[in-house]
Structure 1
């Protein structure tokens, strides 16, 4: 267990539980499917800004996908419904949030589950939306050795340094018309004041370079629903040590693909949750 961390006994699937990290009480939900084997795979799912564990659990629908595959799903809660990631923010909502050790919080939960024999340390995955995607990328940048794959919806790498410690499987979803996280990079938020980030292509390229990829290959667009105003282009890489998949939603906004839109339009062409579950837990590409 990480020094300075105390954790209450893990309880039944879905109940709100608490952990103390560095003297601060944090909360989370844990989904455990019936009949889950010892040392099962774990998917950590991180909510977006102003979201919550309960909100992303209901909205993204990971429980159903995990149940089919015998996986656990961990839903942490951010302080002030936000995550402290690698972006250099000037607009902090509170001193409590500004000092939050969210990386330590996530790692503490994962460490305890591993120590209890509940989770296979070689099959821990992290996914997040928006601010949660930024934290997922922060964990990839700082602790790549702890995760078997990362999935990101509507987020990219910050302009601050990111040195991946090893090749890490990536599935990245991003809308070209995202009004909050610019597809080409720049300032986050409607006024661009929530930190500077790299563009979609640069983010995918950093992971591809670490994996030794040689060539980007684009598939024909997926456009099954002509009414939703979007099409999906899957960009894969050849010659990689691990898969790097960039799912570009042409005309897409800030929403989670396949789920009801919240902040802006979400494509109905694909289901990002199903794609991530298959990518993480079965090693399948779309």
Structure 2
């Protein structure tokens, strides 16, 4: 279908529960997609929204309990939204074999996230100019795909425990500068901080991933500083490297968790995943939710809103959270540089320390 083709999106909203958590559905291209909306007490729409994408095999519920984003949402007055990937995975921008597509069937996730952003605006939940996207691991790779393909849709991005696919050096061509944050542990044994190479594809290192987007955004030189060591029982340490003086006021930053494993840092109480003991150390000097919001909240209000996103309807007036009473047509995302251009050719390792190690993640 072409750019102007339409597909149906049907919203079904059950009654809100007492703690502001709603389990919602969205039909996109024949797929019944699920997402969980968490609205802190006292927050009414249209409000800032952070959409958070889980890692492979997680559910919205397990990710929500593990990530700790709800605490930041309550403290700063934004809505947290947790979509579910088809088969609990995301169709991110890495070559298919690197994300186990042979055994897992991801959904039409680009279309789903585009439709979800519009749905949240039309329901009056989201301020369309202040919708943000974050994710961890497989979800973090999906964040970067959306940054490359739909830079106009989200005001800022945060990718945690996920580095840029090497093919993005040629294929990632967003239509505007992309404010983006990376958070990554230097001892991550699942998605290597230093990048990795396989016969079917490669990823860049975390620093090179940030530098890639700094080049895309036309940023100036970076600055670096150590973050305060707040937890004396924590053997990790955090360093912030930031690129400013970027086009259109954008920015790029990388928070490196020294000795940190494949886990998002958190200072709030969370419920650990079953796999947590095998994922390495979890930093406690910084909190992912707080750092995400600190970075993202500087952007929004001037982001270009795509046609049809956030149209004024009775449900989108301040304080209203009612769903549309009839199906809403959502534009099909346009063809992107990351679609149709990728080949199955073997990716050769670059002669650089930015691609080391092996991973089947």
Matched, 1:209 2:219: no
Question: 1:145 aligns to what SS in structure 2?
Answer: coil
In structure 2, the CA distance between the partners of 1:238 and 1:72, relative to structure 1 (3 Å rule), is closer
Alpha-carbon contact 1:254-1:264 (below 8 Å) kept: yes
Higher relative contact order (CA 8 A, sep 6+): 2
RMSD after superposition: 2.3
Q: Does 1:138 align with 2:142?
A: no
Structure 1 CA distance for aligned equivalents of residues 298 and 75 of structure 2: 11
Change (3 A) 1:10 1:235: farther
1:14-55 CA-partner distances (Å, limit 9, x unpaired): 232222111111111011223323321110000001111111
Q: TM-score, normalised by structure 1?
A: 0.88
- What corresponds to 1:268 in structure 2? 284
Q: Report how far residue 102 of structure 1 moved.
A: 0.8
Alignment counterpart, residue 229 of structure 1, candidates 225, 235, 242: 235
1:277 aligns with 2:322: no
- 8 Å contact from structure 2 (residues 141, 164) kept in 1: yes
1:71-86, aligned counterparts within 5 Å? 71-86=78-93
Q: Is 2:189 the partner of 1:176? A: no
Report if the CA contact (8 A) 2:238-2:285 is conserved.
Answer: yes
CA distance in 1, matches of 2:36, 2:213: 30
TM-superposed CA distance for 1:152, in Å, is: 1.3
Please tell me whether the aligned partners of residues 150 and 170 of structure 1 are also in contact (alpha carbons under 8 angstroms): yes
Tell me the SS of whatever aligns to 1:219. strand
Distance 1:75 1:194 in 2: 31
Local SS of the residue matching 1:144: coil
Distance 1:159 1:5 in 2: 34
Aligned counterpart for 2:132 among listed residues 91, 106, 125: 125
Q: Residue by residue, what CA displacement relative to the aligned partner does 1:249-283 show, whole Å, maximum 9, x if unpaired?
A: 12111111126582221111211111112222356
Are residues 11 and 203 of structure 1, via their aligned partners in 2, closer, same or farther at CA, if it must alter by over 3 Å? farther
- CA deviation string 1:230-252 (max 9, x = no partner): 22111012422322111011211
Q: TM-score, normalised by structure 2?
A: 0.71
Q: C-alpha separation between the residues in 1 aligned to 2:295 and 2:140?
A: 17
Partner of 2:157: 150
Does the Cα contact within 8 Å between 1:218 and 1:233 map onto a contact in 2? yes
Could you tell me how far apart the structure 1 residues matched to 2:128 and 2:145 are? Answer: 19
More moved, 198-207 vs 258-267: 258-267
Structure 1 residues 281 and 18, CA gap change in structure 2 (3 angstroms): same
Q: Counterpart of 2:254?
A: 246
Residue 226 (structure 2) aligns with = 220
Distance 1:67 1:224, change over 3 A: closer
CA contact (8 A) 1:69 1:281 kept: no
Q: Which runs of 5+ in 1 are unaligned?
A: none
- 8 Å CA contact 2:14–2:23 kept in 1: the answer is no
Q: Which runs of 5+ in 2 are unaligned?
A: 300-361
Distance 1:130 1:270 in 2: 18
C-alpha spacing 1:10/1:74, structure 2 compared with 1 (3 Å)? farther
Aligned length: 277
Offset of residue 3 of structure 1: 1.8
1:257 to 2:265 alignment: yes
Please list the CA deviations of residues 162-210 of structure 1 after superposition, one character each: whole Å capped at 9, or x if unmatched.
11221121221011111111112124xxxx6885222212211122123
